[in-house]
Amino acid sequence: MQKRKLGNSGLEVSALGLGCMGMSFGYGPAADTREMIALIRSAVERGVTFFDTAEVYGPYTNEELVGEALAPVRDRVVIATKFGFKLDLKTGFQSGLDSRPEHIRAVAEASLKRLKVEAIDLFYQHRVDPEVPIEDVAGAVKDLVRQGKVKHFGLSEPGVQTIRRAHAVHPVAAIQSEYSLWWREPEQELLPALEELGIGFVPFSPLGKGFLTGAIDASTTFERGDFRNIVPRFTPEARKANQALVDVLRDIAAQHKATSAQIALAWLLAQKPWIVPIPGTTKPARLEENLGAAAIRLTPADLRDIGGAVSQVPVQGARYPEHLQKLVGR
């Protein structure tokens, strides 16, 4: 597995990371803990050094899973986690945003214990909190960096002006946002700003929450608790309309003797050398498939063909329901 540096931060990670959320949260019932520990360790054996989690995944259980799985190889990996949500103490679920400095400090202390680490490698603000100036957020993380409890600062789904304000207080190592062949909005403002500022980019949902793999169609049913049940882009009507995009990918993949997922990931890797996608999976076979994308080299002609073909398919449906869309790009 090749390595990449996230912008000018000096933070070096594998070209593909592993998003661990779906092992515990978001896509139906949590997977078997022992199996997920084995999967994470298998990823390490195959060269993956970058693992993504958050306190709200579970909540808490995903950090505990990642911490246990990576404890024996701590010196070989980079672990990213997140702060910024308020959790209801009775239900354990999100009940709003909270990026007050005292809350950031409390989350850091708790995450350090769950992850079994002495320092958090990359600490993201999970969503921008409009009630707390981003300068105060960056300042709180800066203090944690000085104390040796955090190594790098990141932001998830922020607007460009917020990035600039945060970066002026403490260097932002990486931005995490959705980016894939069916969500290319970051190309408009975000990617140029990150290139200018020397900040790395970590696309989550690089396979369109599974849709770009070709394993989902209009007849697919999702389990109770699966986030896709409330996503407009995943209504049966939208999936039927968006199938044309998967068909295009499948045809291109066949030309490269690859899978649709591999082409989608290889396309992302080819966009910028400081982009590190974090596809998630709970299946060993999918892990192998995803990691195979790192070996695919797409030529400029390939990229033109893919971009041209995909641009002919207008994607149907919003990527978030309205109440969640309000939390991004601020």
Q: What is the rounded distance in angstroms from the CA atom of residue 236 to the CA atom of residue 217?
A: 8
Grouping H, G, I as helix, E, B as strand and the rest as coil, residue 221 is coil
Grouping H, G, I as helix, E, B as strand and the rest as coil, residue 151 is strand
Beta carbons within 8 Å of 64's beta carbon, 6+ residues apart:
58, 114
Mark whether 57 is an active-site residue.
yes
Given 57, 60, 124, 179, the catalytic residue? 57
Tokens 């515990």 belong to 24
Based on its alpha-carbon atoms, the radius of gyration of the chain, rounded to whole angstroms, reads 19
| Among 206, 190, 185, 319, residue whose Cα is nearest residue 267 | 206
DSSP one-letter code for 51:
E
- Give how far Cα 270 sits from Cα of 35, 211, 266, 277, Å: 32, 20, 6, 11
Beta carbons within 8 Å of 147's beta carbon, 6+ residues apart:
none
Q: What is the rounded distance in angstroms from the CA atom of residue 301 to the CA atom of residue 45?
A: 34
- Contact present, 154 and 104 (Cβ < 8 Å): no
Q: What is the rounded distance in angstroms from the CA atom of residue 9 to the CA atom of residue 199?
A: 7
Q: How many helices (H) and strands (E) does the chain have?
A: 11, 11
- Contact present, 202 and 233 (Cβ < 8 Å): no
| Among 50, 23, 55, residue whose Cα is nearest residue 39 | 23
Catalytic residue annotation: 57
